[in-house]
């Protein structure tokens, strides 16, 4: 009835609209600093990259001849780009499932009420405080062909040394292992937080019903943290597509381009060869791929998510 009176009184309608405009203005005023930052550091570079992808751009950023879809056509015909895309997809497949499963395993263990578990939680999350450069340097020593710990362990069992970073067969899995270790801390913390937010009463009810440990894990814990798993999966995929630092330090895209995933290829084209237009076209393709993968995840994966 109050709504009908509002609709029938022109003065009240005008006053209501004025209040809405005022609230909208106040909201935009609060958002203005964030919008400025997003515009300068996100939207402007994105549109500039799209613009560059249609031109020949020199190393100094000078825009030259308009080439239209030329860079994109060249990429579709480039064997190096196809190899880079294949390596990128393999890298994502190597890293994301292992990251999620390992982080979930550690989070489940760390959620148990055991003596000294706080120490292990700190150890599991410690990679969060290690920079990419420091983490990659650690693995550079681990993978060293003669002095590395891994090859020394293999030697103890009479197994021949492996060229972890100089073999096309092992370089990409080695980078993937480094990336899993680096991403483990943040995934572990997020999943542990999700597990600890599950209501204890549900486990108590399951105990009364005689449910075992694995029944509670797969019937209560995992379904109820599915929104967290969904979120972690998205950021893990995006993070894997955008991996750069460890590749630059450990292999430099080699050997024979086996670790030259698309982000590193963009870097090389832009800053090593000065082909900013060509690099911009690759960046746009990467953006579209990540966008499609994310949309598919929301369309397909979210249907399996159980919100409390």
Judge contact between 181 and 99, C-beta under 8 A: no
The pLDDT value recorded for residue 2 is 47
Tens digit of each residue's pLDDT, the chain (308 residues)? 444 444 556 777 777 788 888 888 888 899 889 989 988 888 898 999 999 999 988 767 788 889 889 999 999 998 889 999 999 999 999 999 999 999 999 999 998 887 878 888 888 888 888 889 999 999 999 998 888 889 999 889 888 889 999 999 999 999 999 999 999 999 999 999 999 888 888 888 888 888 888 888 888 888 888 889 989 999 999 999 989 999 999 999 888 889 999 999 999 988 888 889 999 999 999 999 999 988 888 887 666 665 55
CA separation for the pair 66, 85 (Å, rounded)? 26
pTM of the model: 0.85
Judge contact between 109 and 101, C-beta under 8 A: no
Q: Phi-psi category of 305—alpha, beta or left, where left has phi over 0 and alpha has psi -120 to 50? A: beta
Judge contact between 271 and 283, C-beta under 8 A: no
Residues present in the chain in total = 308
Enumerate the β-bridge partners of residue 295.
none
DSSP for 21-47, written as a single string = HHHHHHHHHHHHHHHHHHIIIIIHHHH
Instruction: Give the count of beta carbons closer than 10 Å to the beta carbon of residue 18.
Output: 10
Instruction: Give the count of beta carbons closer than 10 Å to the beta carbon of residue 231.
Output: 15
The pLDDT value recorded for residue 148 is 87
């Amino acid at each position: 009835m109050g709504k009908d009176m509002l609709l029938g009184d022109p003065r009240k309608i005008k006053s209501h609209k004025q209040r809405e405009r005022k609230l909208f203005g106040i909201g935009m005023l609060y958002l203005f600093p964030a919008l400025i930052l997003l515009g300068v550091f996100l939207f402007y570079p994105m549109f500039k990259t799209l613009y560059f992808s249609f031109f020949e751009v020199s190393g100094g950023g000078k825009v030259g001849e308009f080439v239209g879809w030329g860079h994109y056509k060249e990429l579709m015909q480039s064997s190096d780009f196809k190899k880079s895309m294949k390596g990128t997809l393999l890298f994502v497949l190597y890293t994301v499932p292992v990251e999620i499963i390992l982080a979930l395993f550690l989070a489940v263990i760390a959620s148990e009420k055991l003596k000294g578990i706080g120490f292990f939680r700190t150890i599991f999350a410690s990679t969060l405080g290690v920079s990419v450069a420091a983490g990659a340097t650690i693995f550079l020593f681990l993978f060293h062909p003669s002095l590395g710990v891994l090859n020394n362990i293999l030697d103890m069992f009479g197994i021949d040394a492996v060229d972890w970073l100089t073999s096309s067969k092992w370089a990409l899995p080695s980078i993937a292992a480094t990336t899993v270790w680096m991403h483990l801390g943040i995934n572990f913390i997020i999943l542990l937080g999700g597990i600890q937010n599950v209501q204890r009463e549900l486990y108590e009810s399951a105990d009364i019903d005689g449910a075992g440990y694995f029944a509670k894990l797969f019937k209560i814990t995992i379904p109820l943290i599915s929104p967290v798993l969904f979120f972690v999966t998205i950021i893990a995929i995006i993070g894997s597509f955008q991996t750069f630092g460890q590749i630059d330090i450990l292999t430099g895209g080699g050997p024979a381009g086996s670790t030259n995933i698309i982000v590193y290829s963009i870097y090389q084209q832009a800053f090593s060869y000065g082909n900013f237009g060509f690099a911009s076209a690759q960046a746009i393709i990467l953006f579209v791929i990540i966008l499609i993968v994310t949309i598919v995840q929301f369309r397909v994966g979210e249907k399996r998510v159980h919100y409390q």
